[in-house]
Amino acid sequence: MTWLDSSIMHTRGMARGKQGTTHELTEAKQGKYHYTMGPYSAPVLHIRPGDRVVVETRDAFEGAIKTERDLPSQKLEMPFLNPQNGPIMIEGAEKGDVVAVHIEKMTPRGPQPLGTCCMIQEFGALTGTYYTATLNQPLPEIVRKIRLDEENVYWSDRVTLPYKPHIGTLSLSPEIDSINSLTPDNHGGNMDLPDMGPASITYLPVRSPGGRLFIGDAHACQGDGEVCGVAVEYPTTTTITVDLIKGWSIEWPRLETDEFIMAIGSARPLEDATRIAYRELVRWMAKDYGFDQWDAYMMLSQCGKVRLGNFVDPKYTVGASIRKHYLRNK
Amino acid sequence: MTWLDSSIMHTRGMARGKQGTTHELTEAKQGKYHYTMGPYSAPVLHIRPGDRVVVETRDAFEGAIKTERDLPSQKLEMPFLNPQNGPIMIEGAEKGDVVAVHIEKMTPRGPQPLGTCCMIQEFGALTGTYYTATLNQPLPEIVRKIRLDEENVYWSDRVTLPYKPHIGTLSLSPEIDSINSLTPDNHGGNMDLPDMGPASITYLPVRSPGGRLFIGDAHACQGDGEVCGVAVEYPTTTTITVDLIKGWSIEWPRLETDEFIMAIGSARPLEDATRIAYRELVRWMAKDYGFDQWDAYMMLSQCGKVRLGNFVDPKYTVGASIRKHYLRNK
Amino acid sequence: MTWLDSSIMHTRGMARGKQGTTHELTEAKQGKYHYTMGPYSAPVLHIRPGDRVVVETRDAFEGAIKTERDLPSQKLEMPFLNPQNGPIMIEGAEKGDVVAVHIEKMTPRGPQPLGTCCMIQEFGALTGTYYTATLNQPLPEIVRKIRLDEENVYWSDRVTLPYKPHIGTLSLSPEIDSINSLTPDNHGGNMDLPDMGPASITYLPVRSPGGRLFIGDAHACQGDGEVCGVAVEYPTTTTITVDLIKGWSIEWPRLETDEFIMAIGSARPLEDATRIAYRELVRWMAKDYGFDQWDAYMMLSQCGKVRLGNFVDPKYTVGASIRKHYLRNK
Amino acid sequence: MTWLDSSIMHTRGMARGKQGTTHELTEAKQGKYHYTMGPYSAPVLHIRPGDRVVVETRDAFEGAIKTERDLPSQKLEMPFLNPQNGPIMIEGAEKGDVVAVHIEKMTPRGPQPLGTCCMIQEFGALTGTYYTATLNQPLPEIVRKIRLDEENVYWSDRVTLPYKPHIGTLSLSPEIDSINSLTPDNHGGNMDLPDMGPASITYLPVRSPGGRLFIGDAHACQGDGEVCGVAVEYPTTTTITVDLIKGWSIEWPRLETDEFIMAIGSARPLEDATRIAYRELVRWMAKDYGFDQWDAYMMLSQCGKVRLGNFVDPKYTVGASIRKHYLRNK
């Protein structure tokens, strides 16, 4: 018996933890990758609650940056960035439901050096940008190609970082909008949240028939805030199991691990992202765990944890969490 | 040999880790507590680099909230909140130096229930405030008195939290401003950073002769962001050792523990606090640890950590840190 | 000879100020109104540069609020708000061009009281909202139905306001996104800019073939910032002339009147919207009017004007302008 | 009979519009100028309600920038910028009162070129700054010396701007803080609001005995937002009349002209400054002009005007106003 057995996914999902069919979503099967998440694209896969999907994700630059001499300004073309697999249709998913995505495994895929990091002009936290518009000269364009394996990311001669993979962009479709894959919002999107890795479950609100799941943007590791604008981007084989929860209405994405539950907000300025995350967490504790809302609010002031996902994307992402230990009734 | 022996304080401080005289700063000796930090108040203590001070801090409400029926709107009078001990003059401190404050121990002081938490009208993150001005009815005023000891904070019948004390407000004097004790800025101030507890060293830039150290606002525990606006506030006996570092110029407060170094920024909106913290950390890595600045920037995008101190005070506080492990030369 | 003769539209547009065919875009011809602006909807009209279109716009609530007892929470259904006419295809428009929209006339249409204003829950500037998430009780829902004609808006027994109509939402399509009609961005959208009325020309960047023009959201008058979230919304017959400018590449919407030229930015926080607007204006002065960019920057610090369109929508809108008088060469 | 006769100052002030003694506050009498506004400095003048003061203000750089070769980074020393005359003590002023300052006249003083504008490194709206911390190279330092007289500001060979003087920094003392003269807040301070010129009355809340009036930072003209960070700074002889209003409690500065009343907010981000200004205006209309607060809120959504003072100082300043015409009872 693992923590999954008592997870929300397994206790409230239609599959009740029972594994379904395994599907492959290879590059070939995917065909054209997507740069917006919305209700207007053609499905690439239909699955049932409980099914597993093995997905071949491309890196955020769709492989265009092959060497350290490939400058982003020459090789990348806005807005065709951050390619997404999908949409995957989940049978029975309707507006008002929740889709649960359990990330099981993320394996590097392809020839070394697999990882790419770079500084993109007018993108990142410590530079003037498209929105924080300045007249300064942009920072230099610098590209790093990085060897990595399932243990380490070999950043430089001096520094080796542990391999801590996560999915940067995970979404269902908005109801009527189609949103580019660089932008997170209440549908999920480009959250860049390091907690969204193997052994996590993400819960996303369904707003469109079938849910329309998109996935991509794997990071071999990422610091809080993704400060230069780019993580160690790499192509993967990612294995997920997907379930459907009826009768659970949520407004923003949520996440669960063995240790904690987390509410996720995406907005600007950063305090609004944090407000959303904490308000959702207060409401969650009140609704599902029997706390008085003011007690939850004051208690999170003592034990809430905040993860800064990104503060570089068109909207910033914050997760607010509480340890499951504190949610238990004595 | 402990981590302190290789800390910046012990290797660069004038005392070189040698313990000096121990001073007592009792309530009686302090007399009137202060509500602004500036160059205009009369010193209460003169110490030398390496000296230890045992300080009797009052809680942020100066003991005015004694029971759960003592409403903040009746018992508190703005701006006379968050009383500070000090100013403590450090011999030889001059503009351009750094004062190091090693927090050794924080012991609860006084009769139970020692801890106070409350919801104050138009204060906190999930409410309209003085600055985020709305026309909504304020949230209710609620007061919690909480038993605590050096092991636990007995939050409620249902929840017990670990005792994880820290100092909420730690400052030197600005050069010419005198800033109320609710506001953090580049002088330190009301940072409400949970890392600033026992076994941490805080580095503060000297801008006024003698440095003029102020300390107060102990928290028995606090969540990231201090979301309701108040931690578990309590009176303590806090033991610190203070040193003086010549020839190290910093612009914003910094912090060191056994595990990491952290740069601290305080500003609104929250992204600016985070930008400050990360920029200072990049510069620190470049200046003192031999990293190329762009390498530091891109590398922090993979392994930087962010702590949200508060997003409720007049300025918000963020710490950006990197594990010391990654700073070592191979 | 009027100012139009020397406007950018007439001097650089393909029609060179020559009036083309007049089209009617009635409610019947429009059929279903749109709630997103993107490349995925079916065109309702094809026009040529220089053509005039007479459009029957619906009010932002699509007529659902008929009396002061019709509460928004009962009568409105998110995201089906702010209905847009269009898309209108402009012959020859290609990515990199500019479409010019001259608003000629806006006439109230339908039975009195024609105007609607209301307070919508968790929407507006002086309340917690979906993004500035608070735990406060929402403000009351209040609906006002207001008589108006082409001279006045009869706000109350006490106050009569002048009729100063403008178009709240004017867009071309983004390249791949489809964006709900509540949100402004670099495609135009829900800018709520009081200057965008009769005798103004708006310039919009083409990002999708044919441009795909959308228009709606007429306001009989509106204050700076649209503080309660809603203007005096009303249905109109609006007459526009549309032209196409080749060889003029712009990144954000711009506007021209007899008196001034204006650059428009939409973002959060509000300073970013203002930064965008001013940066675009500096660049415009440098590129098209022969100013040194630093001279333009410093000079706007002395004579630039700022109009706050809205600070209530998902992104806020600001226009930065300079009087044409200062652009003339001596 | 002028508008002054029916102004708040003349109808509610203790002097009831009766002119008192005229005082001179020359450079010699001022002696040392001040760089913080607080309760700790020695008064330079004591006046009575209704008295007039003729003040010799210095420019914001205290005359240190004499030619276009005097670079700010060499000639200016933080935080000794923006020198202020004062404090002027107003007889009888107590916490809870309001001081009214009628600016009568602003005359240029000294040898030509009198005006100074410049680009200061990491200061201004379209550049990374101390708070919006970036790693970009700073913008160039550029200094402009500008001839001006009581009719015009001779900006360049190409552009002449009208002389529209105003006071950039006007303050009473905070209760316990002493705040540098670069920062605006609820005590007034560096608001940089173009409306604060001759024929305006500013109302400031008294928080310290005698009020302690500070004045300085004259601008010969200034655009909305003061985008490059600096206006046309110049030394003046400024004539003000000061009165004291008992029984009128305000939280933030307010302003009155012949045409409108304005509430002023200073905060970051810019939406918070705007929220403050509009909330104060709603409350003012409800308290002093008999409007229902929701009616005022919705009506300002139709006819409120926003002036962006600055978005470059440590806090940004916004004025929200309504025409007096709309305040009259029918």
- Closest-CA residue in chain A for B153? A302
Residue B191: left if φ>0, alpha if ψ -120 to 50, beta else—which one? Answer: alpha
Set of chain C residues whose Cβ sits within 8 Å of the Cβ of A184: none
Sheet holding D166-171, edge to edge: D45-47, D84-90, D213-219, D166-171, D188-190
Query: Residues in chain B with pLDDT < 50?
Result: none
pLDDT at residue B330 in the model:
58
**Is C38 in Cβ contact with A178 (below 8 Å)?**
yes
Ramachandran angles phi, psi of B280, nearest 5°: -65, -35
Whether C175 contacts C152, CB under 8 Å: no
Set of chain C residues whose Cβ sits within 8 Å of the Cβ of D301: 117, 222-223, 225-231
pLDDT tens profile C128-160: 999 999 999 999 999 999 999 999 999 999 999
Its sign, for the CA torsion B16, B17, B21, B22, is positive
- Chain A contact present for C269, CB below 8 A: yes
Distance from CA of B187 to the nearest CA of A (A): 22
pLDDT at C21 over 90: yes
Whether D124 contacts D139, CB under 8 Å: yes
**Cβ-proximal residues to A251 (8 Å cutoff; 6+ apart), any chain:** A186, A205, A280
pLDDT at residue C329 in the model:
73
Q: How far is CA B41 from CA A112, B59, C133, C219, in A?
A: 63, 21, 40, 57
Pairing of strands A152-154, A161-162: antiparallel
Distance between CA B167 and CA B177 in Å, rounded? 22
pLDDT at residue C270 in the model:
98
**Is D126 in Cβ contact with C299 (below 8 Å)?**
no
Whether A264 contacts A306, CB under 8 Å: no
Ramachandran angles phi, psi of A122, nearest 5°: 55, 35
pLDDT along chain A (330 residues), means of 10: 94 97 98 98 98 98 97 95 98 98 98 98 98 98 98 97 98 98 98 98 98 98 98 98 97 98 98 98 98 98 98 98 90
Identify the structural domains of chain D with CATH numbers, from first to last: 3-253 (2.60.120.580)
Q: Chains meeting D at 3+ CB pairs closer than 8 A?
A: A, B, C
Amino acid identity of A159? V
Ramachandran angles phi, psi of D173, nearest 5°: -80, 140
Set of chain D residues whose Cβ sits within 8 Å of the Cβ of A126: 128, 133-135
Q: Which of D276, D318, D326 is nearest to D300 (CA)?
A: D326
Tokens encoding D50? 């209704």
Distance between CA A209 and CA A211 in Å, rounded? 5
Terminal CA-CA length for chain C: 22
Residue C182's pLDDT band (boundaries 50, 70, 90)?
A: very high
Distance between CA D269 and CA C273 in Å, rounded? 12
Whether A59 contacts A116, CB under 8 Å: yes
Distance between CA D14 and CA D5 in Å, rounded? 14
Distance between CA B288 and CA B220 in Å, rounded? 34
Distance between CA C142 and CA C156 in Å, rounded? 14
pLDDT at C279 over 80: yes
Distance from CA of C24 to the nearest CA of D (A): 30
Unique residue bearing structure tokens 């806006």:
C106
SS3 of residue B319 by DSSP: strand
Whether D82 contacts D273, CB under 8 Å: no
- Closest-CA residue in chain A for C81? A176
- Residues in chain A, total: 330
The arithmetic mean of pLDDT across residues C302-330, rounded, is 95
Set of chain B residues whose Cβ sits within 8 Å of the Cβ of A65: none
Distance between CA D56 and CA D117 in Å, rounded? 20
Distance from CA of D315 to the nearest CA of B (A): 9
| Tally of CB atoms within 10 A around C176 | 21
Distance from CA of C140 to the nearest CA of B (A): 9
Distance between CA B136 and CA C133 in Å, rounded? 12
Distance between CA B115 and CA B165 in Å, rounded? 12
Which residue spans within C50-199 are E strands per DSSP?
A: 52-57, 84-90, 98-108, 115-119, 142-148, 152-154, 161-162, 166-171, 179-180, 188-189
The arithmetic mean of pLDDT across residues D106-125, rounded, is 98
pLDDT tens profile C91-118: 999 999 999 999 999 999 999 999 999 9
Distance between CA C79 and CA B197 in Å, rounded? 48
Chain centroid to Cα A243, Å, comes to 17
Distance between CA D322 and CA D330 in Å, rounded? 17
Helices assigned H by DSSP within chain A: 8-12, 27-30, 72-75, 270-288, 293-303
- Chain D contact present for C161, CB below 8 A: yes
Ramachandran angles phi, psi of A262, nearest 5°: -140, 135
Tokens encoding B75? 């018992």
The arithmetic mean of pLDDT across residues C59-80, rounded, is 96
Q: Which of C232, C312, C313 is nearest to C59 (CA)?
A: C232
A76-89 core/surface letters (b: 16 or more CB in 10 A; e: else): beebebbbbbbbbb
Distance between CA A29 and CA A289 in Å, rounded? 42
- Closest-CA residue in chain A for B160? A326
Q: What is the largest CA-CA distance in chain D?
A: 60
Whether B184 contacts B266, CB under 8 Å: yes
pLDDT at residue B158 in the model:
96
Q: How far is CA A285 from CA A185, A292, A326, B221, B312, in A?
A: 22, 8, 10, 20, 21
Terminal CA-CA length for chain A: 22
**Contacts of the segment B285-288: beta carbons below 8 A, 24+ positions apart:** B285/B322, B285/B327
Tokens encoding D173? 């003392």
- Chain B contact present for A96, CB below 8 A: no
**Cβ-proximal residues to B2 (8 Å cutoff; 6+ apart), any chain:** none
Which residue spans within A172-304 are E strands per DSSP?
A: 179-180, 188-190, 200-205, 213-219, 236-245, 254-256, 260-267
Unique residue bearing structure tokens 């600007």:
A268
Tell me, what's the ipTM? 0.98
Whether C212 contacts C178, CB under 8 Å: no
| Tally of CB atoms within 10 A around B43 | 12
pLDDT at residue A329 in the model:
73
pLDDT at C330 over 90: no
Unique residue bearing structure tokens 């700054």:
D129
| Residue from C119, C129, C132, C270 whose CB has the most chain D CBs within 10 Å, to mutate | C270
**DSSP for residue D101:** E
* Least CB–CB distance from B276: residue in D133, D177, D293: D133
Distance between CA C234 and CA A305 in Å, rounded? 47
pLDDT at residue C1 in the model:
73
Distance from CA of C272 to the nearest CA of A (A): 5
